[in-house]
Chains A and B, each alone.
Chain A
């Protein structure tokens, strides 16, 4: 955890030990006035140590974490005063019943525990600084942790965005398309203008629409069409693609560029590595708030050596999985499977 930073050498015992040693030294230093030896003052402070520790630990582990953290400040104040009183009482008892009779039988005489001004002095003069100091430490610690978490979140967001960018820009795809376009313009093909418009649509969606947190599902699907049409240029008749959309997709929102990696994956692994006739089928269905996406593509390996049939998928799918976890926690099922002759990616996603 992040509390590590509050420990010396990452050892809680050593930290606490040093804290109390420091406490004793400071208190001795504050009270010393030259009438008696430094040692005797140190012993006096040492006698008060158990009570101080009682106040400190009850304050930190009970009162602070129960009341203060939960913003029950009034309860915290009441219980803090009660703690001070009880601790002061305990201190008096310790002094009168055990320490004085045992260690100073000659110089002291037994007194009643309930001497009010002594109790009050114990509360205010001796124990309340301990309480306030530990409270201050806890508040600082809490603030520090929150600050750190905040930074952690920002960092996470940034790296997610970076991954996001990585997922977006596929230079090889861009340059392949440009190369195809070059070929088309060389022969002044009437298809060239259409390809330029498609590429422009694709870039526009990737650069602008994907900036927002969510986009319309039909836009994401349009993007898929655009992507497939551009990919199709590379493979011409060797590749068969079926894209089938079912259900009312116009009013449903979805995180942008969430589905396209499945399609990219099918082309990257299934199509570009193969030499024979290849195919990709994409079936998207929206039904009662659930989105079903099934992407299948051909591959020629007949082997079925993987024992589970589970396929790890590329880095692209890994990123999607992470995004799904961040965006739709516990609202999705994703399965990628490699069967003889085909890959299947099966996604079920609950949208809002």
Chain B
């Protein structure tokens, strides 16, 4: 497989270094030349073949955009800049992509993908690094007040919630918490994809349903009634789930 010949034009050495590193991480790319001004790039392009040009916009003497205008025969161009304001102008010059610094590696991959796509070549890209969250719990939870302390309850553990007027009983897989809270508040708070109001007094976890018929839902070891006014919505939700 012939590699894609890349040229980096950027007056900032650190910025150019990042791109160089990214290019090095992909087997399909090959860096053929790197320079810090448009004039050198022009000279290089006169005698060498380049497939893909990474071009900074703000550079001394000749800006990236002016440089592009002087080129009669252009390689595919990816603009790299810290300013978003040139995006429109860039696309008027028919560039492939527009990368705003700092450029995450994932974003760089997307741009390379566009190159492959525009050339109709099959892509062989490494799996994109998953965007793992630094700080947010992967399991959603709520805190409920019970016996003068706050108890953490994962949503996935909740079986159902029963309304006791101003209080609710939250039944989980392993325990039961009675807390001062209205069921409507919890209904608004908990995600619709996971929880379903089936009765004035019951909000259930959809995943925990064992069986259901037109009148009852079996959850855990208990059968809960479906309220008349909730029936239509319950049925449409549950049948859509299948």
Interface residue ranges, A against B (CB under 8 Å): 191, 194-198, 200, 204, 208, 225, 228-229, 231-233, 239-247, 279, 281, 283, 285, 287, 292, 294, 296, 298, 302, 339-342, 346, 348
Cβ contact within 8 Å between B150 and A298: yes
Q: Which of A197, A294, A298 contacts B104 (CB under 8 A)? A: A197
Cβ contact within 8 Å between A232 and B142: no
Contact with A along B184-196 (1 / 0, CB 8 A): 0100111111100
Given A243-B136, A244-B155, A296 and B143 contact (CB-CB distance below 8 Å): yes
Chain B interface size, under 10 / 10 to 19 / 20 to 34 / 35 or more: 20 to 34
Interface residue ranges, B against A (CB under 8 Å): 84, 100, 102, 104, 133-137, 139-143, 145, 148-150, 152, 155, 185, 188-194
B155 to chain A, nearest CB (A): 7
Instruction: Determine which residue in B84, B139, B191, B194 has the highest number of CB atoms from chain A within 10 A of its CB, and name it.
Output: B191
Q: Bound state CA distance, A232 and B136, in angstroms?
A: 8
Cβ contact within 8 Å between B84 and A208: yes
**Which B residues are CB-close (under 8 A) to A346?**
185
**Which A residues are CB-close (under 8 A) to B84?**
204, 208
Given A228-B135, A231-B135, A292-B188, A197 and B145 contact (CB-CB distance below 8 Å): no
Q: Which of A242, A287, A339, A342 contacts B137 (CB under 8 A)? A: A242
**Which B residues are CB-close (under 8 A) to A242?**
136-137, 139-142
Cβ contact within 8 Å between B141 and A232: no
Q: Bound state CA distance, A122 and B55, in angstroms?
A: 84
Cβ contact within 8 Å between B142 and A341: no
Given A196-B102, A204-B100, A242-B140, A294 and B135 contact (CB-CB distance below 8 Å): no
Cβ contact within 8 Å between B134 and A232: yes
Q: Bound state CA distance, A226 and B17, in angstroms?
A: 26
**Which A residues are CB-close (under 8 A) to B189?**
283, 285, 292, 294
29 contacts between A and B (CB under 8 A): A194-B134, A204-B84, A204-B100, A229-B135, A232-B135, A232-B136, A233-B134, A239-B135, A244-B155, A244-B191, A246-B191, A279-B143, A279-B150, A281-B143, A283-B142, A283-B190, A283-B191, A285-B188, A285-B192, A287-B192, A294-B185, A294-B189, A296-B143, A302-B148, A339-B145, A340-B145, A341-B145, A342-B145, A342-B150
A315 to chain B, nearest CB (A): 26
Given A246-B193, A292-B188, A339-B145, A241 and B102 contact (CB-CB distance below 8 Å): no
**Which B residues are CB-close (under 8 A) to A302?**
148
Q: Bound state CA distance, A225 and B137, in angstroms?
A: 11
Cβ contact within 8 Å between B191 and A241: no
A346 to chain B, nearest CB (A): 7
Cβ contact within 8 Å between B102 and A197: yes
**Which B residues are CB-close (under 8 A) to A281?**
140-143
Q: Bound state CA distance, A225 and B133, in angstroms?
A: 8
Cβ contact within 8 Å between A228 and B191: no
**Which A residues are CB-close (under 8 A) to B137?**
240-242
A28 to chain B, nearest CB (A): 68
B183 to chain A, nearest CB (A): 14
Q: Bound state CA distance, A208 and B84, in angstroms?
A: 9
**Which B residues are CB-close (under 8 A) to A296?**
142-143
Q: Bound state CA distance, A229 and B193, in angstroms?
A: 25
Minimal Cβ-Cβ distance residue in B for A244: B140
Q: Bound state CA distance, A196 and B137, in angstroms?
A: 21
Cβ contact within 8 Å between A229 and B133: yes
Minimal Cβ-Cβ distance residue in B for A292: B188
Cβ contact within 8 Å between B143 and A200: no
**Which A residues are CB-close (under 8 A) to B140?**
242-244, 281
Give the 7 A-B CB pairs with smallest separation, nearest first. A232-B135, A246-B191, A229-B134, A244-B140, A283-B189, A292-B188, A242-B141
Instruction: Determine which residue in B136, B155, B190 has the highest number of CB atoms from chain A within 10 A of its CB, and name it.
Output: B136
**Which A residues are CB-close (under 8 A) to B134?**
191, 194-195, 198, 229, 232-233
**Which B residues are CB-close (under 8 A) to A243?**
136, 140
Minimal Cβ-Cβ distance residue in A for B106: A197
Q: Bound state CA distance, A296 and B100, in angstroms?
A: 35
**Which A residues are CB-close (under 8 A) to B191?**
244-247, 283, 285
Known A197-B104, A225-B136, A283-B191; 19 more pairs at CB < 8 Å? A194-B134, A196-B102, A197-B102, A198-B134, A204-B100, A228-B135, A228-B136, A232-B134, A240-B152, A241-B137, A246-B190, A246-B191, A247-B191, A247-B192, A279-B143, A279-B150, A285-B191, A294-B185, A346-B185
Cβ contact within 8 Å between B192 and A279: no
Q: Bound state CA distance, A243 and B155, in angstroms?
A: 12
Q: Bound state CA distance, A246 and B102, in angstroms?
A: 31
Cβ contact within 8 Å between B133 and A298: no
B205 to chain A, nearest CB (A): 14
Q: Bound state CA distance, A208 and B85, in angstroms?
A: 10
**Which B residues are CB-close (under 8 A) to A298?**
143, 150
Cβ contact within 8 Å between A241 and B135: yes
Q: Bound state CA distance, A247 and B190, in angstroms?
A: 11
Q: Bound state CA distance, A319 and B150, in angstroms?
A: 30
**Which B residues are CB-close (under 8 A) to A292?**
188-189
**Which B residues are CB-close (under 8 A) to A340?**
145, 148
**Which B residues are CB-close (under 8 A) to A204?**
84, 100
Minimal Cβ-Cβ distance residue in A for B190: A283
Minimal Cβ-Cβ distance residue in A for B193: A246
Q: Bound state CA distance, A37 and B136, in angstroms?
A: 95
Q: Bound state CA distance, A348 and B139, in angstroms?
A: 24
